[in-house]
Structure formats: structure tokens, C-alpha cells
Amino acid sequence: MTKINEVLTAVILYCIFSYILQLPNLYTGILISAMATQINLILPKDYRHTLILVIPMMAFSIEYPNITIPLTIGYLSSIFISLLSKEGCKLVYPFKKTTFTGPKNYLENDSKKDYAATTFLLVLMMITLAFSTNGMEIINDITENTDFTEYISHGNTTDVNKTSNHPHYITIDAENCRNMNITTKTENDTTTTIIKDYVV
């Protein structure tokens, strides 16, 4: 599950940075960052997780930020996940051959902890995607409706109003030529029309 976790982490981090920095082309950036997590597959073994490669990536970000920022985020995501694994990373290779590893209770591939981490990252990815695409709308709605139940009911009411927004036709026989009061009210998605004689 390591490769899946790398992709999920890349998507999460790119969504966060995209929202903060207001980067354009969200889905293109997500695709690039996800593909960048696989860069290490084409690199020599000792260079797969070295931070040295980040330097040229950051240099190119000045001219081509839309490509190099998601590329860097994807590559760093693969390093982060590898640090939590048993193999670890040679972060400063070729200057040092030291292998850096994360906590002692590392994530062993296809273990229960690995599957739990994947589930957590999947949920977190969906949340960050939602906020990246509709962040301000969600925040504004929650601000207006501080109670979460009110926020949910507010959304439901909006949907009801959208579905019930259709024309109502009233036919009146004009032969009698009487003055009439016509009142229309909508309550609980039911429209009631009241017609009374006009009283001076």
C-alpha cells in the first residue's frame, strides 16, 4: 500500500498548497503531483529519496511554477511515506550514505497499520478536495449557521426551494367582474392560494 499512500499524501498536500497559494488548474496539478510520486521508480536506487533532487525542482519553479510545484510536492510525499517504512531514505546522498528512518513502529507494507493509514489518508484526501473546490462556500455557510444541525437543515431547505420554484396558474372567471383578494403562500413545499371578495 506504500505507493497508494504516496499518491494520497501528494493529493492532500497539493490541495492544501493550491488553496493557500491560489494555484490555478487544480486537477492538472493533482495529476502531476500524483505522477511525481513515481519518479523514484526510474532513478538509481540510492538517489530515489534524496533531497538533493529538490534543489533543481525548486529552481525551475520560478519559471514554471504550475509544473514544478506539484512535481516537488509529489516527490516530497514519496520521501515522507518512505521515511515511515522499514527501508527508510538516504536523504543526503551522495554526501552521506546514512539511511534515515522514521519511528520504531514503522509502517510495514500490507500490515494492519498500513491499511489503517491508507483509510485515514483516503478520508483526509476527500476532505481536502472538498475544501479546495468549495472551501469558501462551505466556510461561509458554516459561519452563517454556527450550529451544524442548522447548517445541514439550511442546505436541505435550499434544495427544497430549488425544486419547488415552478409557476402556479390561477384561472378566474371575469364575467362577474368582482374585486377579489388573491393570496398565495408556500409552506412545507405546499402552495396554498386563497381567493376572497375584496372588502373596502
* Counted domains in the chain: 1
What residues make up the domain containing 115? 2-134
Q: Is residue 143 part of a domain?
A: no
Going by C-alpha positions, the residue among 79, 65, 70, 78 that lies closest to residue 16 is 70
Q: Is residue 183 part of a domain?
A: no
Cβ pair 193, 181 in contact under 8 A: no
Model pTM? 0.61
Q: Is residue 152 part of a domain?
A: no
Q: Is residue 174 part of a domain?
A: no
Q: Is residue 115 part of a domain?
A: yes
Q: Is residue 176 part of a domain?
A: no
pLDDT tens track, the chain, 200 positions: 577 888 899 999 999 888 888 888 888 999 999 998 888 888 887 777 788 888 888 777 777 778 888 888 988 888 888 887 777 777 878 787 777 776 665 666 667 877 888 889 899 999 888 888 776 565 566 566 555 555 555 555 444 444 444 455 556 565 665 666 666 667 766 666 666 665 55
